[in-house]
Amino acid sequence: MEQPQSQPYAQEATDPDARWLNAVLHTAFLALLCSSLVRYLTHDHGGDARTVALFVTFPLLHAAGRLLAPAPAPGTRPTVRHLVWLGAVTANWIVLLVQAPSATWCAMPLLFTGLHALPPRLAVPLVALLTALVVGSEIRVSHGTLNPNMVVAPPAIGAVATAVLVHLQRQSARRRLLIDDLVRTRRNLAATERRAGVLAERHRLSAEIHDTLAQGLTSQRMLLQAAERVWRTDPATAHDHLREATGITARNLTEARRLVQDLGPADLTDDTLPGALRALSERESRPGLAVEFRLDGTPGPLPDRVEATLLRIAQGALANVREHAAATRAALTLTCLDDRIALDIADNGRGFDPTARPAPVSGRGHGLPAMRIRARQAGGTLTVESTPGEGTVVTAITPLEFAP
């Protein structure tokens, strides 16, 4: 029950405009009240004790409202307690006005308090009531010819004050709606960007695992199956397959540790991209498949992301050559230009139709999409040229000025 009372004070403490407005209203109220009391004591027959008591009760009741019935927060409905307090203050002023017409202009702070704290459907009737009472009081104490300003000025002032403050109140309500929409939009945008970041990171992780651990495990399985087939008839060849599988296991373990650390290729830890591609071509060469590396141009210092991207693309392309192309020769060609670097992976295998949709195979088919995603993330492009029976060429081109 105490939280609604503390909200206006919290708003006043954090909003300089609210503090300024409240300070002006309270200062004006006290100044007009003191002026009315002085005039009553000096001009209205020395004053009456009951009327003076009303003058004293009036500011006490006004101050008590800040503690017991604070104004509602902007955009919220006034509480019953606040409405009761406002009615009590207004009734006190009406009784005081009947006994001391000098209290007429104390209606101004009440008018602004009602407009500031109440919705227009309640504030406008309150202004009309206060204005009518002010006009009636001015006419009651007037002498001689009626001054038209006594009848015209209070309604004009009340109408202007009502129009201005109601307009500001509605503008403030529209502004709050716009701010709420902006905050909600920013929150939704942040959530969307977070989901996009999570998906991008998942794609990156899946591509890293596919190009390293999955390809290594596939090679191990093929070598172990080959060793099993010739275990009895050709033990020497079987042992060669086992040693090669053991080497792949060691490299996979290094890759796994590297993935855990920073998701970078282990081959690039102590070597450049040309050296890593040359080592890759030597590892992938085996009986029935010769892989060679060619360097065209002199590579300068390359961004880490460009090196990692091209090496991963080469690994994925050679894995496809080994598993699907039935090729006998393949070539890695790294071409270094002034503003970009290109990597071609060509083979003399069976080829395929790049425009045809591949048949779905459980757990497979991740290679080319992953390579395209890698090239795009590095600011480059990846193209595939292939014809059934005439081999395949995969080309990745990455600009050197791209800043990841």
In the predicted model, is pLDDT for residue 74 greater than 70? no
Letter for the amino acid at 113? T
* Residue, of 125 and 141, whose pLDDT is higher: 125
pLDDT at 385: 93
Highest mean pLDDT among 58-62, 97-101, 307-311, 345-349: 345-349
User: Which residues lie closer than 8 Å to 316 by C-beta, 6 or more apart?
Assistant: 210, 211, 215, 367, 368, 370, 371
Question: For residues 23, 24, 26 and 27, what is the CA-based torsion angle, rounded to 10 degrees?
Answer: 110
Q: Calculate what percentage of the chain has a pLDDT beyond 90.
A: 12
Does residue 266 carry a pLDDT above 70? no
Alpha-carbon distance of 361 to 350, in angstroms, equals 19
> What average pLDDT score do residues 110-135 get?
75
What is the pLDDT averaged over residues 329-345?
A: 92
H helix or E strand, kind and range, residue 190: helix 148-209
pLDDT bucket at 363, cuts 50 / 70 / 90: very low
Calculate mean pLDDT across residues 228-255: 83
> What pLDDT is recorded for position 220?
81
Q: Is the predicted pLDDT of residue 204 greater than 90, yes or no?
A: no
- CA dist list (Å): 162 to 107, 115, 167: 14, 7, 8
Residues whose CB falls within 8 Å of the CB of residue 238, separated by 6 or more in sequence, listed in order = 226, 227, 228, 230, 231
pLDDT of residue 139: 77
pLDDT of residue 292: 94
* 162 or 11, which is more confident: 162
Of residues 221 and 295, more confidence is placed in 295
pLDDT digits (tens, 9 = 90+) for 158-191: 787 778 777 777 787 788 888 888 888 888 887 8
Residue 8 Cα to chain centre, angstroms: 29
* Arithmetic mean of pLDDT over the chain: 78
* pLDDT for residue 344: 95
Is residue 384's pLDDT more than 70?
Answer: yes
Count of beta carbons in the 10 Å neighbourhood of residue 269: 12
Average pLDDT over residues 16-22: 72
Q: Are 390 and 351 in contact (CB under 8 A)?
A: yes
Q: What's the mean pLDDT in 246-275?
A: 72
The pLDDT of residue 8 is above 70: no
Return the amino acid letter for 222. Answer: M
pLDDT at 213 over 60: yes
pLDDT 10s digits, 20-34:
777 777 787 788 888
| Percent of all residues in the chain with a pLDDT value above 70, rounded to a whole number | 81
Q: Is the pLDDT of residue 103 over 90?
A: no
Give the span between the Cα atoms of 313 and 370, in whole angstroms: 8
Backbone angles phi, psi at 385, to 5 degrees: -120, 120
Delineate the domains of the chain, giving CATH numbers in brackets.
3-146 (no CATH), 271-404 (3.30.565.10)
The DSSP H or E segment spanning 291 is strand 290-296
Query: Residue 1: what pLDDT?
Result: 39
With 70 as the cut, is the pLDDT of residue 342 above it? yes
H helix intervals, 100-147: 107-117, 120-141
Q: Please report the pLDDT score of residue 81 as a whole number.
A: 83
Query: What is the distance between the alpha carbons of residues 34 and 370, in angstroms, rounded to a whole number?
Result: 82
SS3 of 337, please?
Answer: coil
pLDDT at 358 over 60: no
* 80: pLDDT strictly greater than 80: yes
Q: DSSP letter at 144?
A: S
pLDDT classification of 194: cutoffs 50, 70, 90: confident
pLDDT attached to residue 383: 93
- Cβ-contact 365, 353 below 8 angstroms: no
pLDDT at 3: 41
pTM: 0.42
CA proximity to 314, closest of 340, 341, 354, 339: 341
Q: What is the pLDDT of residues 272-329, one digit of tens each?
A: 899 989 988 998 888 889 999 999 988 878 888 888 889 889 988 998 898 888 899 9
Q: What is the average pLDDT across 40-47?
A: 69
Distance CA 72, CA 66 (A): 11
Q: Which pLDDT belongs to residue 362?
A: 43
Q: Kindly tell me if the per-residue pLDDT of 70 is higher than 60.
A: yes
Mean pLDDT on 319-340: 89
State the number of CA atoms in the 13 A half-sphere of 253 facing the CB. Answer: 6
Average pLDDT value for residue range 267-276: 81
pLDDT at 232 over 80: yes
* Cα–Cα distance measured from residue 226 to residue 239, given in angstroms and rounded to the nearest whole number: 10
